[in-house]
Amino acid sequence: MSVSISRRLQRSLFVAGCFMFCFCFLFLDRYSRLVRDEIDMNGVVEMDSFRRSDINEVIANELSSKVRILCWIMTTPENLEKKAAAVKNTWAKRCNKALFFSSVTNASFPTIGLNTTEGRQHLTAKTVQAFRYCYEHFGDQFDWFLKADDDTYIIVENLRYFLSHHDPNSLEYFGHKFKVIVKQGYFSGGAGYILSRKSLEVFVTKGLSGAVKCRQDGGAEDAEIGICMENLGIKAGDSQDIYGKETFHPFNPTAHLRGFYPPWFYNNAANYPQKGLGCCSDYSISFHYMTPNDMYAMEYLIYHLRPYGLIQDVRKTRTFRMENMAS
């Protein structure tokens, strides 16, 4: 009799355990879906409601007026609500001007529609047309012109700090350098790259007009831009800091810190990839393959989280070499 009761009790406990497991699994799955839906809804998280009163922005504001950057972001109609919205509501607000280019005009976002179709095979056309638009409408209003993707995160203050060591009237552009295909190297499209005002002028007026020297569609966008720049005599500049650490990054922070690199990256990178804190400059400029949630996390970690009692003395900061600036 006791054996029969014991077996019934075991079966009951087993059934109850299965029920509780299924309930917890369904609850957690439903909860995680609700959290994801809440975060992804409209692609917007408000980050500026709690502005810090203990932050001195004088130096950053001075650089913003002296180093004027137009940022243009390549996106698609499908990415507007999440990826592009995350860019718009985080780092793009710190550019002197931000433009979003797509294959379709969207007046409410807004995006500027280009005369091309979507697809990797047409990224060169989107890039060429976007740079042409920037030159024709804003060529004399800004010092530097940044191209980024809608999964690129830019620390704009660090970009300005880096560019303050360079001349916008020089024939240079900067990014994360690959050593293949182009003799002087070319820059990763995903990590973002930035043209000086003079480089943009030469690119559009000589590379895309008259006796065209640059491919206007097809191929790998970043490599084709690199070939074009070399043909035009525009130098692929060095963007490492004085310690040899990279500032533009083709992957997300975790990949660089942990060294989660694909084999091709070791073969193509101009400077041998490092991991750990050696991977990345303390004044890093960009990271790629960033989800919208990654971007909001970066906003918090960079602009809100503070270790109490550790205060940076920018007067002692020396990270980049100053080039000879035009008078």
**Once rounded to an integer, what is the mean pLDDT over residues 238-252?**
97
Note whether 63 and 129 are within 8 A (CB).
no
CA distance 38 to 44: 10
pTM (two decimals): 0.84
CA distance 315 to 254: 30
Buried b (16+ CB within 10 A) or exposed e, 179-206: eebbeebbbbbbbbbbbbbbbbbbbbeb
- Segment 6-13 long-range contacts (CB within 8 Å, at least 24 positions apart): none
pLDDT bracket for residue 111 (50, 70, 90)? very high
322 pLDDT above the threshold of 80? no
Higher local confidence (pLDDT), 16 or 253? 253
* Residue-level pLDDT at 13: 44
CA distance 122 to 117: 7
CA distance 194 to 237: 10
pLDDT bracket for residue 240 (50, 70, 90)? very high
Beta strands in the chain (DSSP E): 69-74, 97-102, 112-113, 144-149, 153-154, 172-174, 177-178, 186-187, 193-196, 235-236, 286-287
4 pLDDT above the threshold of 80? no
**Once rounded to an integer, what is the mean pLDDT over residues 255-267?**
97
pLDDT digit string, tens, across residues 160-200:
999 999 999 999 999 999 999 999 999 999 999 999 999 99
Measured from the Cβ of residue 71, the count of other Cβ atoms closer than 10 Å reads: 28
Higher local confidence (pLDDT), 28 or 33? 33
* Residue-level pLDDT at 203: 96
* Residue-level pLDDT at 39: 47
Tell me which amino acid residue 213 is.
K
37 pLDDT above the threshold of 60? no
CA distance 228 to 132: 14
Measured from the Cβ of residue 42, the count of other Cβ atoms closer than 10 Å reads: 9
CA distance 41 to 122: 30
238 pLDDT above the threshold of 90? yes
CA distance 153 to 285: 8
Residues 6+ apart with CB under 8 A from 149: 73, 74, 75, 189, 190, 192, 288
Q: State the Cα angle at 93 between 99 and 250, rounded to 5°.
A: 75
CA distance 286 to 176: 9
* Residue-level pLDDT at 119: 80
CA distance 278 to 272: 11
* Residue-level pLDDT at 32: 42
Higher local confidence (pLDDT), 44 or 304? 304
CA dihedral 79, 143, 246, 214 (to 10 degrees): 70
